[in-house]
Amino acid sequence: MQRVYGVAIKKGGQGKSTTVTTLARLCALYGARVLMVDLAQPGSVSTAMRDSWPTSNHGGLSELLEPFTQLQPHDLPHPDDVLAGLEALHLPVPLIAKPSWSGGMMHLLPYDEGLGAITRHLQSPFIIDGILRSMDSAFDLILVDFPAEDGILLDNALVATDRILVPFIAEASSLEGIDATLRLLRRGREANARATLGGIVLTHCEPRNKRIGDIVNTLMHSGEVEGEDIKERMFPFAIRQSDFYDHAFRYGEPVWERTQDQRVWSGYVLLAEWLLADAGLERFIANRRHAALLDDDTRVMDTAAVAAGTGTGEARLHDFRTVHYPALTANP
């Protein structure tokens, strides 16, 4: 099975859904086949993708899960039952492709309002894993928007996931969200779950705010937390603060449809390229096009510079790639 990446932090408003949808759109531009799994109330991933929704009818994730409420705590759903349910409900939903995707595609297992009620009856933490395994040959990447709340649905997400990406806004109130997420990962390791920490990415980054630099600096010098070296797990790039992300969500569009300023999404391009390389899909990186094809002089937020409070906190994209990702430097 190809890698399953969860986007998780046990605090709302950190950019989880924006990270899932922006990565999915970018990876599709590179030519990858991407599945999104929307497990987080109120279904922001499903809402943010409404520009690509087809007109065909389909069922919801709660309907897919309902037959598996009878499974006992150690049971997995049978693949034939999963495939029959997917076919009957016309899931996952194939989103409308754009010409610039060049063979890439996006599908979605959408959130629906019945999900909360159904999950109260689930007993097995292996159901989502079984569902995704039944589709393992259809997708190159699977992105899971984790629920923020504890419970059986969160357990299911953790069991199904290979790598966890943690988006983080540099606010004091968000530090506990990171601690809680790292505790969740530690508990998963102790229970032999396969999920590991892929990295922590700074979002909503505005380097002119000195408090942000202080918090990032504190985080990067916090040493080991719950068995993870935080400094080593911080991505060297950050996601720039921009109101255009709010505009994009409001209109259900990618952020590059709201602005031509490549600096806004350059951090997500670097995160998408890291993700493709980490998943063993380096072959797609040469397919940079459209929003993924950035100018060498595009500025990207440099996490270390933000922490140090030096200058603008920015670096030239080509120079940044040369230092941190030399294999990803050459344009096609």
CATH number at residue 161: 3.40.50.300
Per DSSP bridges, beta strands 228-229 and 234-240 are: unpaired
| Per-residue pLDDT tens digits for 104-151 | 999 999 999 999 899 999 999 999 999 999 998 899 999 999 998 889
Residues 104 and 98: their CA atoms lie apart, in Å, by: 9
Please calculate the CA angle 23-27-29 and round it to the nearest 5 degrees: 120
pTM confidence score: 0.94
How much is the pLDDT for 210? 76
pLDDT at 305 over 60: yes
For every residue of 32-88, DSSP letters joined together read -EEEEEE-STTTHHHHHTGGG--SS----HHHHHGGGGG--TT----HHHHHHHHHH
Q: What is the mean pLDDT of residues 49-72?
A: 92
pLDDT at 331 over 50: no
Q: Which domain holds residue 323?
A: 4-328
Q: Tokens 């602005």 belong to which residue? A: 259
DSSP-derived letter for residue 140 is: S
Instruction: Place 2 in a pLDDT band, splitting at 50, 70 and 90.
Output: low
pLDDT at 329 over 60: no
Instruction: Place 192 in a pLDDT band, splitting at 50, 70 and 90.
Output: confident
How much is the pLDDT for 330? 45
pLDDT at 209 over 90: no
Residues 6+ apart with CB under 8 A from 325: 270, 273, 274, 277
How many domains would you assign to the chain? 1
Asked if residues 248 and 257 have their Cβ atoms less than 8 Å apart, the reply is yes
CB atoms within 10 A of CB 193: 19
